[in-house]
Structure 1
Amino acid sequence: MPEDKGNREQDKLQFVDTLRALAILGVLLVHVSQHVDGLSGWLQKGLGLGAKGVALFYMASAFTLFLSMSRRSSDKGEGMTAYLLRRFFRIAPLYYVMLGIYLMVNGTGSRFWLGDQEGVTATNIAAHVLFLNGLNPYWINSIIGVEWSIAVECMFYLIIPLLFKLIRSVRHATWFIVMMLVASFGLNTVFAQYPLISDPSLWGHYLYLWFPNQLPVFGLGILLFFIWKDERHWKSVNPLTGGLLLVAVLFAFVGGITDYLIGVGLLLGAYALYHWQPMWLLNQVWSWIGRLSYSMYLTHMLVLGLIAQIKLPFAPLVSLTLMFIMTLLCTVGLSWLTYTWIEQPGIRLGKKLISRIKTVREQEDSVKESVA
């Protein structure tokens, strides 16, 4: 019986892997399209939506973090130290390796994300190592080219324990989304008028990427968790909660916050994926890509940099298709290696450290009880 229950639980969670798989494919598609000349304007705009795959990553992350904390909340041995170690060893080993590789391949010279700075400094690298690069517009995305989202995610990790205590229902999640949406809109409006750096283009990009602007999307992932946890939560959406959601959508529409509107669409799509369980999206292939998605996210820019050197003598759409297939296949192959030899060993190391700390604490508690 426990095994059957575990299998049912795993089946219910398979849609999360698919969300991650769809997210990384969207990210790959938009980055590949940036290396293909001659694409029509409407196609470029449509492909640009692939960048919203990061929102899917955030939603999946918020969902799984709340799920993990709800499962471990009854374990007295699971303190803040264990939580932070688990998060660190989930992302840091592969991230650090890739930071080194990208620095060796691309050097430390000038680039768009450095603005008027001459190159990548030791302070910049140190900020990346400490996951603090998101605090500086010159550092947030200046080494790998996609690390901004990791910096944002790490900031979210720090507040998750507090959010887990405060947000206990659909109503709470809705209030959180509305408040963060208003706060991010207000902060962006103010800081857009008072830039802190001389490059207006870079400052605009930074205000889009920084943590406050992404926080409402994490809120949508928390809302998804409570809906998944008990579908009766849909029925518990009273007029006040429903009204708040409607006000948030209208506010986003009037304020031109299209990313939030897209996020709401992604939330509905994620729930539909879970609710209807389409086999063509929920299968071992999608699950496998979803498990590789973090490795793919960090390695694909390296792969694309090599494939972009190939000049394909075809129509733009054909070139896009071929380049995407080549990038996908090479990225999957490289990511399988990094997943197997770096990502998974890092996770296992984190678990061993947590287990060792837990054992030591249990022994200390046992000694204290025997003395008492």
Structure 2
Amino acid sequence: MPEAMGEVEHDKLQFVDTLRAVAIIGVLLVHVSQHVDGINGWIQKGLSMGAKGVALFYLASAFTLFLSLSRRSGDGREGISAYLIRRFFRIAPLYYVMLGIYLMVNGTGPRFWLGDQEGVTVANIAAHVLFLNGLNPYWINSIIGVEWSIAVEFMFYLFVPLLFKLIRSVRHAAWFVMVVLVLSYGLNMWFAQYPWISDHSLWGHYLYLWFPNQLPVFGLGILLFLIWKNERHWKSIDRISGGLLLGSVLFAFFGGMTDYLIGAGLLLGAYALYHWQPMWLLNRVWSWIGRLSYSMYLTHMLVLSLIIQIKFPFAPMVNLMMMFMMTLLFTTGLSWLTYSWIEQPGIRSGKKLISRMKPMRSQGDSVKESVA
């Protein structure tokens, strides 16, 4: 019976894997398209929307983090230390390996994200290792080329335990989304006028990527979880919550915050995926790609750097499709190896460390009881 219930629950949550799969497909498309000449301008703009795949990652991340904490907090199985260990071993092992590989392949010389700095410094590498690269506009994306989102993700990890205690209802989530949206807008407007660096182009890119600008999308992921958790689903949005969400959309529209509007659309799409359960999107293939998505995110730039060495002699759209299919194929193959040999062993190491901590904690509790 428990196994059957587990299978049903997995089927209900299969849409989260699909969200991640769609996200990585979008990221691959946009990065491949940047290396294909002659693509129609409108098509290029459409493909650039693939960059919003990261927002899907954030939606799925906030959803699963709140789901995990709701399960573990119910029986008191996980404290803050266990939570942090679990999150660290989820992302750090593969991330550290890929940092080393990209440094060996690309070296430490000048590049766009370094601005006027001569190269990757020891301090830069140390900041990456500590997930602090997101605090510096020169460091945020300067080694792998996509690691900015990992820095943002890890920053969100630190706030999740507090947010989980504070945000307990759809109304709380609606207030949170509205507050952080206004805060994000205000911070971006302020820092756009008072940049920390002389390179205004790089500063503008940094303000788009940094944590405050991405936080509202995480808030939408929390909202998605609370709507999903409530048996009444959308009916759980009362007048106040609905007014706040409508207000956030109008604020984003008139404030030119298109990423938030896209995020709101992605939230609706994510719920629709869960509600209607389309078999062509909810199946083993999409689930498999979704499970590999983190590895694919970190390895695809390496694969793409090799693919672009090939000169395709066809029409732009044919070249695009051929490059995309090759990148997808080789990235998936490489990611299956990194997922099996690095990601999964890293996750198991974290679980083992947490399991070793439990006897120590129980012994400590016994000592306290005996003393009392």
**Do Structure 1 and Structure 2 share a fold, with TM-score over 0.5?**
yes
Alignment partner, residue 103 of structure 2: 103
Aligned-pair CA distance for 1:108? 0.2
Alignment of 1:244-259 (within 5 A): 244-259=244-259
In 1, Cα distance between the equivalents of 2:99 and 2:150?
A: 12
Contact preservation (8 Å) 2:19, 2:270: yes
- Indicate conservation of the 8 Å contact 1:77/1:358, yes or no: no
Alignment TM-score, normalising by the size of structure 1: 0.99
Which residue in the other structure is 2:92 paired with?
92
Shift of 1:364: 2.4
Match of 1:237 in 2: 237
CA distance in 2 between partners of 1:2 and 1:12 (Å): 15
Separation in structure 2 between the aligned mates of residue 21 and residue 136 of structure 1, nearest angstrom: 30
Which amino acid in structure 2 is aligned with residue 210 of structure 1? W
**Partner of residue 328, structure 1:** 328
Aligned residue for 2:82? 82
Residue 183 (structure 2) pairs with residue 169 (structure 1) = no
CA RMSD of aligned residues (A): 0.9
CA drift at 1:354 = 0.2
- TM-fit CA distance, 1:13: 0.6
Alpha-carbon distance in 1 for matches of 2:77, 2:168: 22
Q: How does 1:254-333 map to 2 (within 5 A)?
A: 254-333=254-333
> Equivalent residue for 1:32?
32
Match of 1:324, as an amino acid?
F
Partner of 1:70: 70
> How much has 1:202 moved relative to structure 2?
0.2
> For the Cα contact (< 8 Å) 1:170–1:226, is it kept in 2?
yes
- Counterpart in the other structure of 1:8: 8
Moved more, 133-142 or 224-233: 224-233
Output the CA distance in 1 between the equivalents of 2:236 and 2:129.
44
Identify the residue that residue 139 of structure 2 maps to in structure 1: 139
Deviations 1:128-186 (A, max 9, x none): 00000000000000000000000000000000000000001111101100001000000
Structure 2 alignment gaps of length 5 or more: none
Q: Which amino acid is the alignment partner of residue 234 of structure 1?
A: W
Matched residue, 2:198: 198
Q: For residues 216 and 320 of structure 2, what CA distance do their matches in structure 1 show?
A: 33
Q: In 2, are the aligned partners of 1:27 and 1:53 still within 8 Å (CA)?
A: yes
**Whole-angstrom CA distance in 2 between matches of 1:239 and 1:128:** 44
Q: After superposition, what is the alpha-carbon deviation per residue over 1:97-140, rounded to whole angstroms, capped at 9, x for unaligned? A: 00000000000000000000000000000000000000000000
C-alpha distance in structure 1 between counterparts of 2:105 and 2:97, whole Å: 12
The one-letter amino acid paired with 1:147 is: E
How far apart are 1:11 and its partner, in Å?
0.9
1:289 is aligned with what amino acid? I
Of 2-11 and 56-65, more deviation after overlay is shown by: 2-11
Q: CA deviation at 1:371?
A: 4.9
Q: Judge conservation of contact 2:114–2:142 (CA < 8 Å) in 1.
A: yes
Please state whether the residue corresponding to 2:74 is helix, strand or coil.
Answer: coil
Change (3 A) 1:351 1:98: same
Counterpart contact for 1:170–1:233, Cα < 8 Å: no
Confirm or deny: 8 A CA contact 2:227 2:236 kept in the other structure: no
Deviation of the 1:362 alpha carbon:
1.1
Aligned-pair CA distance for 1:74? 2.6
- Partner Cα separation in structure 1 for residue 204 and residue 233 of structure 2: 38
Deviates more, 1:99-108 or 1:6-15: 6-15
Q: For structure 1, which segment, 174-183 or 1-10, has the greater mean C-alpha deviation from structure 2 after superposition?
A: 1-10
Structure 2 counterpart of 1:366, which letter?
A: S
Matched, 1:57 2:57: yes
Structure 2 equivalent of residue 350 of structure 1: 350
Shift of 1:231: 4.0
Shift of 1:4: 2.1
Q: Give the aligned residue type for 1:112.
A: F
**AA in 2 matched with 1:21:** A
Equivalent-residue separation in structure 1 for 2:223 and 2:232 (angstroms) = 13
User: How many residues in Structure 1 have an aligned counterpart in Structure 2?
Assistant: 372
In 2, Cα distance between equivalents of 1:250 and 1:102: 42
State the one-letter code of the partner of 1:310. I
Residue of structure 2 equivalent to 1:215? 215
How far apart are the structure 2 equivalents of 1:259 and 1:308?
Answer: 29
Question: Structure 2 CA distance, aligned partners of 1:249 and 1:134?
Answer: 27
Alpha-carbon separation, structure 1, partners of 2:24 and 2:76: 36
Instruction: Give the residue type in structure 2 aligned to 1:44.
Output: Q
Q: Which amino acid aligns with 2:89?
A: F
For 1:244, give the aligned amino acid: L
In structure 1, how many angstroms separate the alpha carbons of the residues matched to 2:282 and 2:233? Answer: 24
Q: Distance in 1 between matches of 2:70 and 2:296?
A: 28
Where does structure 1 lack aligned partners over 5 or more consecutive residues? Answer: none
1:129 and 2:119 correspond = no
Q: Within 1, Cα distance between the matches of 2:278 and 2:161?
A: 33
Superimposed CA distance per residue, residues 23-72 of structure 1 (whole angstroms, 9 cap, x where no aligned partner): 00000000000000011110110000000000000000000000000000
1:29 is matched by which residue type in structure 2? Answer: L
TM-score, normalising length: structure 2: 0.99
CA distance, structure 2, for counterparts of residue 106 and residue 85 of structure 1:
31
Residue deviations 1:83-102, cap 9 Å, x none?
00000000000000000000
2:183 paired residue number: 183
**Equivalent pair of 2:230/2:236 in contact (CA under 8 Å):** no
Matched to 2:184, the amino acid is: S
- In structure 2, C-alpha distance between the alignment counterparts of 1:300 and 1:66, rounded to whole Å: 28
Contact 2:60-2:221 at 8 Å conserved across structures: yes
Shift of 1:2: 2.0
Please report how far the alpha carbon of residue 370 of structure 1 lies from its aligned counterpart in structure 2 after TM superposition.
4.2
